[in-house]
């Protein structure tokens, strides 16, 4: 009888865990509302995703300020910033670095869009974009396009920083037809 109850408890636990992971995966599915958040920008001011309703949002996660791939990716978004603005698109970058690190990175690299500090990893986790190497946690290089109604309409989980801005602009051209 005890073995049977243990087996039932184990099956129930596995069912709950499977259901939760399926819910988390479906919450990030294209067509679903983008997870809401408020994070501090490089200026130290809070930025809420809801602030951008009515605009398209390119929400890109990147591992670390001042690293080569992240610098290339940021430079390419900055290079194309006028093209994004013409399409009513806001660029928001997120990493687990501090707002002060973002401020220094923007100043050094001449970046004029918002970088947001996810120092408690909550937003990176909500967007299934948190990775770790040993004890070090960092944001995975993922990008999400959010439409003016706040829904996820495109995700990129395989990102080449050298050509990513071009890919995002191409995707936006298709989505905005």
Question: Same structural domain for residues 64 and 128?
Answer: yes
Question: Same structural domain for residues 3 and 41?
Answer: no
Backbone angles phi, psi at 122, to 5 degrees: -70, -40
Question: Same structural domain for residues 166 and 107?
Answer: yes
Question: Same structural domain for residues 61 and 111?
Answer: yes
List, by residue number, the catalytic residues: 70
Question: Same structural domain for residues 3 and 43?
Answer: no
Question: Same structural domain for residues 89 and 125?
Answer: yes
3-state secondary structure 62-86: CCCCCCHHHHHHHHHHHHCHHHHHH
Question: Same structural domain for residues 17 and 83?
Answer: no
Query: What is residue 5's three-state secondary structure?
Result: helix
Over its length of 177 residues, how does the chain's per-residue pLDDT go in tens digits? 555 544 444 344 434 334 334 334 456 899 999 999 999 999 999 999 999 999 999 999 999 999 999 999 999 999 999 999 999 999 999 999 999 999 999 999 999 999 999 999 999 999 999 999 999 999 999 999 999 999 999 999 999 999 999 999 999 999 999
Q: Provide the edge-to-edge strand list for the sheet that holds 46-48.
A: 46-48, 38-41, 114-117, 89-95, 56-61, 142-146, 152-156
3-state helix, strand, coil in the chain (%, to 5): 45, 25, 30
Question: Same structural domain for residues 161 and 143?
Answer: yes
Tokens 């184990």 identify what position? 10
CATH number (domain holding residue 51)? 3.40.30.10
Domain span at 26: 1-30
């Amino acid at each position: 009888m005890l073995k049977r109850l243990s087996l039932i408890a184990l099956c129930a636990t596995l069912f709950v865990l499977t259901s939760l992971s399926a819910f988390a995966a479906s919450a990030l599915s294209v067509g679903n509302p983008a997870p809401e958040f408020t994070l501090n920008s490089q200026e130290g001011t809070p930025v809420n995703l809801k602030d951008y309703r009515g605009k398209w949002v390119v929400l890109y996660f990147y591992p670390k300020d001042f690293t080569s791939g992240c610098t290339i990716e940021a430079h390419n978004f900055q290079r194309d910033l006028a093209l994004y603005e013409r399409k009513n698109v806001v660029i928001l970058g997120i990493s687990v670095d501090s707002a002060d690190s973002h401020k220094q990175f923007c100043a050094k690299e001449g970046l004029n869009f918002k970088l947001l500090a996810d120092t408690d990893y909550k937003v990176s986790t909500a967007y299934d974009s948190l990775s770790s190497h040993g004890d070090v946690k960092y944001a995975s290089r993922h990008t999400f396009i959010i439409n003016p109604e706040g829904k996820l309409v495109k995700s990129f989980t395989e990102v080449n920083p050298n050509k990513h801005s071009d890919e995002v602009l191409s995707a936006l051209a298709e989505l905005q037809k």
